[in-house]
């Protein structure tokens, strides 16, 4: 009897799991008839994207669609890979003037131990607005001090922080000391002080190397003393081992030169961020092979002598010199504007296709996730945006968004509040 109950229970469990699985939208989905822009590979004027579970199963003109597939009509729409924001505070910041809602900045100057993904708030009101505009993944970063901490890449959906994280850590974040003039608004940092900070940064890396060597030596030889546990040095290991890139915020041309020298001397992997005067040293950056993530282009030029359009033409200058570039929103509340930073650069000399790459495949490559996202290709996560036009264009309407094969709902703070107050229009006076 007991055996029978066990069998029955197992069958029930199996059935339940099957039903549950289906309700999770597993199986095939086919987006039919869309103009596909895979970003990697040729555009397909009318084609099909076949999704199986979380992944893209096939992309092409003549794809055989399984009978069981759910069909999404893409006629008249353009299909793009989901965009990736390469530097933002989504899920770490709600209302910028209220410290209680800000979790991307730690006190102190040296914080390699902090991880942005451990402060994620899945219910952030900025996430639904951002993903409704076709952004499906974002690098969420710590900020402040000399070593700010570790960033992580998140998908813009999920009930828990764990469900959101795609990859962590992605980079260790460093604010490079400014040797020269930083900007017309900011105070000038004395040159000596800045040089000291570069030395300090190098010191930390050296200490981390030494600490690691002592640990390894002690592990082999019982007679050697284990070094005292050091939280900061522990988390610098992957950086000095060349496993984890440093994302270095650096702006002025002199500082960029110093940062290139620093990266080469330390033999570490690096990504540059900000780079508002990058165009002045474009060749050197290209030669060093360091990729660049731009901050928000919604800013004034770092110096008037650079020209009113310095930030706008900067991405084109770097891209044409051969630097791998990506854009970022550098925001939480306006992370939705990511495509328009790319378009602004396109208005000032960047080719439109390069602008598109700089919010899709380039960030995927720079952040080390090109095997799973950044383009519409077989085997990648089904992060897909359907729109009635160019997704970098302001007037375009985003029609549907899929993250990991799941269609997301467009309701957001915008729609909720508007729906709440719309009935007032019909109210009798």
Partner 1 sequence: MKKMIFVFSFILILSFSASPLWPGGNLLIKNGTILTVTKGVIPRGDVLIIGGIIKQIGENIQAPPGVQVIDASGKFVLPGIIDSHTHIALSGTNETGDVITAEVDMADVLDAEDLSIFTALSGGVTMVHTMHGSANPIGGRNVTIKLKRARPSEELVVRQAYPTLKFALGENPKQANRIGTTGPPRYPLSRMGVNAIIRRELLRARTYMSQWDRYNELRKSKNPPKTLLPPRRDLRLETLAELLRGNLVARCHTYRADETLEFINLSKEFGFKIACFEHIPEAYKIVPELVREGVGISIFLDNWAYKVEAAEGIAPMAAYCAQNGILVSINSDGAERTRRLFNDAAKAIKYGGLSEEEALKLVTLNPAIQLGVEKIAGSLEVGKHGDVAIFNEHPLSAYTRCEMTIIEGDICFDRSQYLSEREEAAKRQKEPKKG
Binds partner 1 (CB under 8 A): choice among 352, 368, 370, 407: 352
414-427 in b/e burial notation, b at 16+ Cβ within 10 A? Answer: eeeeeeeeeeeeee
Q: How far apart are CA 54 and CA 21, in angstroms?
A: 12
Q: How far apart are CA 89 and CA 151, in angstroms?
A: 10
Which positions from 111 to 130 touch partner 1 by CB under 8 A, shown as an x/- string? --------------xx--x-
Cβ 341 vs Cβ 311: under 8 Å: no
Closest CB 421 distance from partner 1, rounded Å: 5
Query: Which of these, 179, 97, 56, lies nearest to 47 by C-alpha position?
Result: 56
Pick 173 or 341: Cβ nearer partner 1: 341
Q: Which residues, 277 to 316, sit near partner 1 by CB under 8 A?
A: 298-300, 304, 307-309
Count the alpha carbons within 13 Å of 110 in the hemisphere toward its beta carbon.
16
Integer-rounded Cα radius of gyration of the chain? 24
Closest CB 344 distance from partner 1, rounded Å: 7
Count of all residues that appear for the chain in the document: 429
Concatenating the DSSP letter of every residue in 54-96 gives: TEEEEEESSPPPPTTPEEEE-TT-EEEEPEEEEEE-TTTBSST
Pick 115 or 336: Cβ nearer partner 1: 336
Binds partner 1 (CB under 8 A): choice among 82, 340, 386, 399: 340
Q: Which residues, 165 to 224, sit near partner 1 by CB under 8 A?
A: none
Report if residue 424 touches partner 1, rule: CB under 8 A.
Answer: yes
Report if residue 146 touches partner 1, rule: CB under 8 A.
Answer: no
Report if residue 346 touches partner 1, rule: CB under 8 A.
Answer: yes
Report if residue 347 touches partner 1, rule: CB under 8 A.
Answer: yes
Angle between helices 253-266 and 191-220 (to 10 degrees): 20
Report if residue 358 touches partner 1, rule: CB under 8 A.
Answer: no
Report if residue 98 touches partner 1, rule: CB under 8 A.
Answer: yes
Q: Pick the piece of the chain touching partner 1 (CB under 8 A) from 43-51, 62-70, 115-123, 333-341.
A: 333-341
Binds partner 1 (CB under 8 A): choice among 74, 82, 274, 339: 339
Report if residue 90 touches partner 1, rule: CB under 8 A.
Answer: no
Pick 23 or 97: Cβ nearer partner 1: 97
Concatenating the DSSP letter of every residue in 321-375 gives: HT--EE-----STTGGGHHHHHHHHHHTT--HHHHHHTTTHHHHHHTT-TTTSSS
Q: Pick the piece of the chain touching partner 1 (CB under 8 A) from 8-16, 61-69, 148-156, 347-355.
A: 347-355
Cβ 394 vs Cβ 340: under 8 Å: yes
Closest CB 299 distance from partner 1, rounded Å: 6
Q: How far apart are CA 327 and CA 338, in angstroms?
A: 7
DSSP state for residue 376 in the 8-state scheme: -
Report if residue 395 touches partner 1, rule: CB under 8 A.
Answer: yes
Binds partner 1 (CB under 8 A): choice among 2, 223, 421, 423: 421
Report if residue 229 touches partner 1, rule: CB under 8 A.
Answer: no
Query: Which of these, 29, 56, 59, lies nearest to 47 by C-alpha position?
Result: 59
Report if residue 94 touches partner 1, rule: CB under 8 A.
Answer: yes
Cβ 38 vs Cβ 357: under 8 Å: no
Cβ 81 vs Cβ 38: under 8 Å: yes
Report if residue 380 touches partner 1, rule: CB under 8 A.
Answer: no
Sites of contact with partner 1 (CB under 8 A): 94-98, 125-126, 129, 298-300, 304, 307-309, 332-334, 336-337, 339-340, 343-344, 346-348, 352, 392-397, 413-415, 417-418, 421, 424-425, 427, 429
């Amino acid at each position: 009897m007991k055996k029978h109950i066990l069998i029955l229970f197992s069958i029930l469990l199996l059935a339940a799991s099957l039903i549950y699985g289906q309700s999770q939208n597993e199986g095939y989905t086919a987006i039919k008839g869309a103009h596909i822009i895979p970003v990697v590979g040729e555009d397909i004027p009318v084609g099909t994207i076949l999704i199986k579970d979380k992944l893209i199963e096939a992309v092409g003109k003549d794809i055989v669609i399984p009978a069981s597939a759910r069909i999404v009509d893409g006629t008249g729409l353009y299909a793009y890979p989901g965009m990736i924001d390469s530097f933002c505070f989504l899920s770490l910041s709600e209302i910028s003037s209220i410290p209680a809602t800000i979790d991307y900045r730690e006190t102190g100057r040296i914080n390699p131990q902090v991880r942005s993904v451990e402060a994620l708030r899945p219910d952030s009101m900025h996430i639904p607005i951002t993903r409704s505009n076709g952004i499906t993944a974002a690098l969420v970063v710590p900020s402040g001090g000399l070593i700010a901490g570790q960033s992580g890449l998140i998908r813009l959906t999920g009930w828990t922080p764990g469900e959101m994280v795609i990859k962590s850590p992605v980079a260790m974040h460093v604010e490079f000391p400014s040797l020269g003039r930083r900007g017309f608004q900011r105070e000038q940092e004395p040159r000596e002080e800045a040089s000291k900070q570069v030395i300090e940064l190098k010191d930390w890396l050296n200490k981390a190397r030494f600490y690691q060597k002592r640990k390894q030596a002690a592990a082999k030889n019982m007679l050697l003393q284990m070094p005292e546990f050091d939280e900061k040095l522990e988390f610098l290991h992957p950086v000095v081992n060349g496993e984890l890139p440093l994302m270095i915020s650096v702006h002025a041309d002199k500082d960029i030169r110093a940062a290139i020298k620093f990266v080469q001397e330390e033999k570490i992997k690096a990504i540059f961020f900000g780079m508002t005067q990058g165009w002045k040293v474009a060749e050197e950056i290209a030669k060093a092979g360091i990729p660049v993530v731009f901050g928000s282009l919604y800013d004034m030029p770092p110096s008037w002598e650079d020209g009113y359009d310095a930030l706008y033409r900067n991405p084109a200058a770097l891209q044409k010199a051969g630097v791998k570039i990506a854009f970022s929103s550098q925001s939480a509340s306006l992370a939705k504007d990511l495509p328009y930073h790319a378009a602004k650069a396109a208005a000032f000399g960047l080719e439109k296709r390069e602008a598109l790459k700089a919010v899709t495949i380039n960030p995927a490559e720079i952040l080390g996730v090109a095997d799973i996202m950044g383009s519409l290709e077989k085997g990648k996560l089904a992060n897909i945006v359907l729109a009635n036009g160019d997704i970098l264009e302001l007037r375009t309407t985003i029609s549907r968004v899929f993250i990991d094969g799941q269609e997301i709902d467009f309701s957001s703070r915008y729609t909720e509040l508007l729906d709440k107050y719309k009935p007032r229009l019909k109210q009798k006076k």
